[in-house]
A and B are shown apart, each in its own frame.
Chain A
Amino acid sequence: MLFLQVLINGILLGGVYGCAAMGFSVIWGVMNLINLAHGSMIILGAYITYIVNTTTGLDPFLTIPISGLVLFLLGFVVQKYLINLVIGGSVFMTLILTFGLDLVLINTNLFLFTADLRSITPWYSGLGWQIETLRIPFTRLGVFVFSLTLTLILFLFMNRTKLGNAIKATSFDKDAAGLVGVDILKVYAITFGIGAGMAGMTGSLISMIYSFSPVLGDTFTMKSFVIVVLGGLGSIPGAIMGGLILGIAENFASVLLEPGYKDAISFILLVVILVLRPRGILGKQFFAEVKE
């Protein structure tokens, strides 16, 4: 039974992890941009939910569109007027740029919200399903379901809409996309906005299961990194898979090994998988290979 409980915990967590990695993966896959500010955007989303929830009492799940929209606009503007200036350059230069951006975001969050740990406890926090010794908290279940829903919406968007196809095409070959009439710079801005929006919405979800503070964003960036490499760059199903693997592995690690290994397990796992199968678990590249 314990095994099952740990597995379920892992799956519930994995869904959120996958959702967290989604935006990161799309931005990287389409724009060849490693967004080190990703974690801080997640945290910002969490704060938005916190503010709305504490001032208006609105249920945190309902704040998701708000954080999504705010972060989308933020991402769009940042990309259009800042990142576009260096987008042609090397991956690692854009990486430093987003690192600088991350520092600015962290400072902004510290300034606005202080370093205190916050958390959100809706009225149904402690409640859950009890099936014999198995416990499935409602909040975690809700978060999991929403994560998958967001993922599905993103997947449908990328594959069924004209704009989504334009984004996909850009990731395959940006010059060719331009040649069929796609405005690349606009696609980049929208893509980054989508990535930021996904991060923000994931932040709203995370705010309900974790306590958060401005400096905790980096962990999520790193985990997203790991998930993307595990699941294959730019692949949405891959991100979910990678997230599930990570979530399950972390939960089992904290039970089987010393608790201190919980975070390390993600990396140990990563190193092992990379050495055995360098293209990640799904291998198949849905989007273009990372350009150097």
Chain B
Amino acid sequence: MASSRNVDIPQQPEQKRILSVHRLGSGYKPLQVLWDIEFSLEEGEWLALLGTNGAGKSTLLNTIAGLIKPFCGEIVYQESEISALPVHERVRLGIALVPEGRRLFAGMTVRENLMMGAFTQNDDGKIAGQLQRVFDLFPVLKEREKQIVGTLSGGERQMCAIGRALMSQPILLLVDEMSLGLGPVVVDGLLETMTAIKQEGVTLIVVEQDVNTALIYADRGYVLREGKIVKNGDAKQLLEDPAIQKDYLGYWKGVEKNNK
């Protein structure tokens, strides 16, 4: 499989580089999970982060968000190096993570969870506006506004988690394993919503196990294996890539035959 290290995508004049990651190594001391990660992201792009279980996708998102301190390397966000910043500071800069497992505030209502998302915001008017936009994107959340989140279905909880992240007015939105445990119809709905979010100018990194669906919606994709980037490129191209198709999509064309 041809492996291509990241080559700087030529910048369009109006496009801003939101994030670039250089030689990043990270993990859970003393275990190193990510090795020499290198990539960058332009404003408004949707990046799909792919790979099997244990490849390090969640670790990467958690490191960018600040839940994990990297072992080495740099994370440059809007021209500042942020790897030493604590989690809550990164939120103020506009990085929001929808974590694996959603991690909602269990004993609080939908509305309370969403309002907690706006913790870093001070303008009451803007907060109210953002809340309304979240309800527009996810009408069912408005219906269940006063319910404790524990009583919601999986899909509704995922919506609440995404909504909570949106309340902080993020510039960069990181979404980890959105489709886990959700049926395909729900997932499709969520992905459509993500497209709407992207149209508002939010940059997205979405981690997904479902490679096919992920690449259909994304602009670009990176494939992780055992903590290293092994492939990257335009999402359409990756979909057509026979190696990807064989390893992740479960089908192949051509004369390769499975002799097992």
> Chain A interface (Cβ within 8 Å of chain B)?
162, 165-166, 168-169, 172-173, 175-184, 285-288
Contacts and interface: CB of A to CB of B under 8 A. Distances in A.
Contacts of B164: 180
Interface of B: 65-67, 86-88, 91-92, 96-97, 99, 103-108, 112, 115-117, 119-120, 164-165, 167-168
B107 A287 contact: yes
Nearest to A186: B88
B67 A178 contact: yes
A162 B119 contact: yes
B91 A168 contact: no
30 contacts: A165-B116, A166-B116, A168-B107, A168-B108, A172-B107, A172-B108, A173-B104, A173-B105, A175-B87, A175-B99, A175-B103, A176-B105, A178-B66, A178-B67, A178-B88, A179-B65, A179-B87, A179-B91, A179-B99, A179-B165, A180-B91, A180-B168, A181-B88, A181-B91, A181-B92, A181-B120, A184-B88, A286-B107, A287-B107, A288-B106
Contacts, number: 69
A162 B103 CA distance: 20
A172 B106 contact: yes
A111 B165 CA distance: 52
Nearest to B96: A179
Nearest to B117: A180
Which of B86, B88, B164, B168 has the most chain A CB atoms inside 10 A of its CB? B88
Nearest to B91: A181
* 10 cross-chain pairs, A with B, having the tightest CB-CB distances, nearest first: A181-B120, A178-B87, A181-B91, A176-B103, A172-B105, A181-B119, A180-B119, A183-B88, A181-B88, A169-B105
Nearest to A159: B112
A266 B97 CA distance: 47
A240 B106 CA distance: 23
Contacts of A173: 103-106
Contacts of B88: 178, 181-184
Contact of A176 (B86, B92, B99, B115): B99
